[in-house]
Chains A and B, each alone.
With several copies, the nearest count.
Chain A
C-alpha cells in the first residue's frame, strides 16, 4: 500500500487543518523535513503532540501552525529554552498556545494505551504533583486486587503520526534503529502514519534494537534523505549541534525568526 510517494503528496493527503498530529523521534530521527512540509502547506489549528517539542516544534509553533501542544519536556536539548514556544505561551505570539504537560512516563504511556486502543494506561507516578490538576488527561485508578491508588493517563490517538526512519524495503515496510524512542507506539496509536526514510533497500540488514513496521500499518512512505536534519539518523548523519546552538540566537528574536522562515521558504502565517 505505501509505495513511495512524494512528501508533499503524503502531507497533502493525510494532514488536515485541525488534526491532532504527532511528529515523534526522541532526540534522534526527528522528522524535520516533514514538519517543514506541513508548514509550507499552510496547515493551521493543529494539536501537536510530542514528548520533546525540540527545535522542530519551536519552528512550527513560531510559524503559527499549532493551537495546542501536548508534551513532556520543552527545552532545546543541551542548549536552553525554546524561545518560540515560550513566546507563544507567555506572550501569545503569533497566537495563544494551550499546553498540556505530561511527564515522559505519562506521555509515553498515553501512546502505549493509544497503540493498544485502550482508553487509558496505568503508571506509578504523578502523585502529589500539580500536574494532576489536568484532570482531563491525568487521573487516578484503584487496583481491584490490592486497593492501591495509581496514576492513569488518557490515551493519545493522533490523527496522524509522522516519523523518520533509516530504511524502507520495496514493499514499503520500514526499519529504524538506534534510539527508537516512542515511535512504534506513536505510529500504532495513529489513525494514519507517514514515514520518511533515508533510502530504500532490497533487504533489511540485521540491526539489534531495530523496530520494523509492516507496510499495512502505514499510510505513506516517502524517501527523504537527510529528512531528520539538523537532528540525525544513526548510520547516515550526525547531529548538527551548531544549528541547535544557532537556533538559540535566531529564535530569541521575532524578526530574526521571521527572516529565517522567509529565507527557508517557510512563510510565517498571518495570524487568524
Chain B
C-alpha cells in the first residue's frame, strides 16, 4: 500500500536523495535538518552531519528541534567552538554539501535572507545571513531547498546575502561549486552548464511545466528532456513521519 504524500514531503524526500553515503553535510534548521536526517536513516547511513553550532558527526537519536539541540553535542564525535567550525571546517572547504534556504532567489541562484524592500527601511526584516554566505562560497556543492512562488523566485533579489553565480551568472569567485541544485515543491532546478541560469530539469509527479512557470518570477528555462522525480517510497515516507513525530530512531 502506498502512503499518501504532499508537495512538502516530496521536496524533503527529493533533497534527502541528493545526499550520498560518506558526504560531509552541513545542516541548517528547517527542511535541511529533516532532509539530512532522512538521508541518514535511509540510503546514506554513513553521511556525516555537521551543525554550525559546533557538532561534528552528530548522530541525533531524534530530529533535533534546533541546531542547538542538546542531542547534537551528546552524540557528536567532536564539538568545536563556532570560530573553529567556520574557520577550520566550513571556510577550509571540508564540507561536501551545504543546504541553504532562501526568502528570495534569482535566476542565477543568488540568495536573499536579509530584507524585503529597502535595506535601511525594509518592508520585512528577515533573519539575516547566519552561516549561509560562507556555506554558499565554500561548500563543495550547495543544495537550496525553497518553495517555488512568485514571492521567492524573483527577477532580482532585494539584497544579495549569499552569492550563487553573481548578477549575470558569470561573477562567482569562490572555492565551492555553488548551488548545483535548487529543490522546490515543484521540482528540481539546476544551473545551465554554459550560462549558470537555473533550469528546471525535473518535476515532481503531478506537477506541470505551466505550474512551475506560474510560480517563477522570471521567464523560466526548462530542460528539453525534463524528467519526473520518482514518487516517495513507503520507506521514505515512513521515516519522514517518524522524524517529524520526533520518535527516537
Which A residues fall within an 8 A CB radius of B? 26-28, 51, 71-75, 77-78, 81-82, 85-86, 89-90, 99, 101-106, 108-109, 111-112, 115-118, 123-131, 133, 171, 173, 178-182, 184-185, 188, 208-209, 211-214, 216-217, 231-232, 234, 238-239, 241
Contacts and interface: CB of A to CB of B under 8 A. Distances in A.
Contacts of B162: 129
Interface residues of B, number: 60
Nearest to A124: B91
B133 A178 contact: no
A180 B206 CA distance: 46
Contact of B82 (A51, A173, A216): A51
Interface string B108-122: 000000100001001
Given A90-B122, A90-B124, 13 more contacts: A26-B68, A27-B67, A28-B53, A28-B68, A28-B73, A73-B129, A101-B128, A103-B133, A125-B91, A130-B119, A179-B79, A180-B79, A188-B92
Contact of B83 (A86, A90, A125, A185): A185
| Interface SS majority for chain B | loop
Contacts, number: 198
A179 B78 CA distance: 10
B128 A73 contact: yes
Q: Which 8 A-B pairs have the closest CB atoms?
A: A27-B68, A75-B127, A73-B130, A105-B86, A212-B78, A77-B66, A78-B66, A128-B163
Contact of B130 (A99, A104, A123): A104
A147 B172 CA distance: 18
B131 A89 contact: no
Interface in B114-166: 114, 119, 122-125, 127-134, 137-138, 159-163, 166
